Amino acid sequence: MKLNELQSVPFRAKIITYASDYNTAVEKRKDLQQISGYLYKDKNLTDNYGQVYCRLYIFYKDLGIGMDIGGINRPNDYTTEEALAYVRGVGTQKPEDFIEYLDGVVAAGDRITNAEIALARYIAPEKAEQYAEARQKRIDADNARYALRRAKREAEEAAYCEKSNAETQQKIDTAIHTIRTGGILQNDYISFYRSRYNCRSYCMVNYLARQYDVEIPLKVQGWINQKLIEVKIADGKVTECRHQRGRSNTFWNYMNKLIAVVCQDAQAGDAA
pLDDT at 265: 81
Output phi, psi for 74, to 5 deg: 50, 55
Distance CA(96)–CA(38), nearest Å, equals: 13
pLDDT at 250: 94
- The pLDDT tens digits for 200-258 are 999 999 999 999 999 999 999 999 999 999 999 999 999 999 999 888 989 999 999 99
CA nearest to 161, candidates 116, 130, 192? 192
Strand 183-186 relative to strand 25-36: parallel, antiparallel, unpaired? Answer: unpaired
Burial (CB count within 10 angstroms: exposed 0-12, middle 13-18, buried 19+), residue 142: exposed
Q: Are 200 and 191 in contact (CB under 8 A)?
A: yes
pTM: 0.67
Which pLDDT belongs to residue 89?
78
Helix pair 125-181, 114-123: axis angle to 10 deg = 170
pLDDT beneath 70: ranges in the chain: 267-272
